[in-house]
Amino acid sequence: MKTNDFFCIKRFKLLMKREFHSMKKGLLITLGATVGVMFLISIFISGITPHINLSGFYYAGLYISGIIVAGTAFSDFRKKETSMMYLTLPASTFEKLKSQLLLVSVGFIIFYIVAFYLFWVLIALWRLILNLETPFFNIFMDQNFLQSILKLWFWQSLFIIGSITFTKSPLIKTMTLIFTVLVILGLFVLFLMTKITFDQMHSTSLPIAMSYNKNIFDSWLFYLLIPISWIIAYFKLKEKEV
């Protein structure tokens, strides 16, 4: 394999152009719907209480729309005909994955921030009519800003694997699969904790699992799962057939 067969900047630009053309409609609909729903909910809340939690809106919208966008990535795989055209498009598997990842992760965040501030303008205007003040929420100064992006990328990476693997309804199928795995994992942890607590009652030393009090979502091991998921997505895409 030539290096050019793995990555070529000229070809990648062409692919990005093509992907942007095919994704922009879905992206705009998702973001438009998110802004619409957030606006309607905030109108309702403004009628009940003068306080508004903009960070709550920001993070809820970020995760929900981010996951929808990731779950609907690789839209060419939804139909056999488009799948054939996409897989025979002269670009490498790496380029095809990278272009989707860039649009779904980085591209989405940029568009979402723009959409969020559009929502902010709309709700601020509405609340002005009601004589209510709307605080400005500076996303970039929020302490959870970067961490939330990394967490989103983790969940998105799982949904991207799902969008490559499942031909029909990948969003729902991936959600169901994640939910099932989390329930099984939860039950397993519950079983483990029960056993540890039982053992502890018969022992004087503190079990390691109990003394490890760190939130798994803040661990660097958790973030390591992002590139691992991307690698899995690469191999899934590589072995994709029609």
Partner 1 sequence: MQCTTNLTHYIMITLKNINFSYSKTKKLFKDLSWEIENGFVYGLLGKNGAGKTTLMKILSGLLYPDGGFISVDGFEPAKRYPSFLSKFIMIPEEFSLPSITINNYEKIYAPFYANFNHSAFNKYLEEFELADLKHYNLNNLSYGQKKKVLISFAFASGTEILILDEPTNGLDIPSKSIFRKLCIEAMNTNRTFIISTHQVKDVERIIDRITIIDNGNIISDEKTEDISLKYSFRFVEKLPETGVLYSEKSLGGHKIMTINVDKNPSAIDIELYFNAIIKQNS
Read out DSSP for 44-99?
A: HHHHH-S---HHHHHHHHHHHHHHHHHHT-SGGGGSHHHHHHHHTSSS-HHHHHHH
Smaller CB distance to partner 1: residue 14 or 132?
14
Tokens matching residue 120: 């902010």
**Angle, CA of 100, 102 and 103, to the nearest 5°:** 65
Distance, in Å, from the CA atom of 224 to the CA atom of 30, rounded to the nearest integer, reads 28
**Does residue 30 interact with partner 1 by CB under 8 A?**
no
In the complex, the smallest distance separating the C-beta of residue 87 from partner 1, rounded to whole angstroms, is: 6
Tokens matching residue 132: 């209510």
**Does residue 5 interact with partner 1 by CB under 8 A?**
yes
Instruction: Region of 131 please: left (phi>0), alpha (psi -120 to 50) or beta.
Output: left
Show the site string, 49-88: x = touches partner 1 by CB under 8 A, - = not: ------------------------------xxxx-xx-xx
Q: Find tokens 């661990």 and name the residue.
A: 219
Residues in region 81-140 near partner 1 by CB under 8 A: 81-82, 84-85, 87-93, 95
Smaller CB distance to partner 1: residue 76 or 112?
76
**Does residue 242 interact with partner 1 by CB under 8 A?**
yes
**Does residue 173 interact with partner 1 by CB under 8 A?**
no
| Sole binder of partner 1 in the list 9, 21, 47, 143 (CB under 8 A) | 21
**Does residue 29 interact with partner 1 by CB under 8 A?**
no
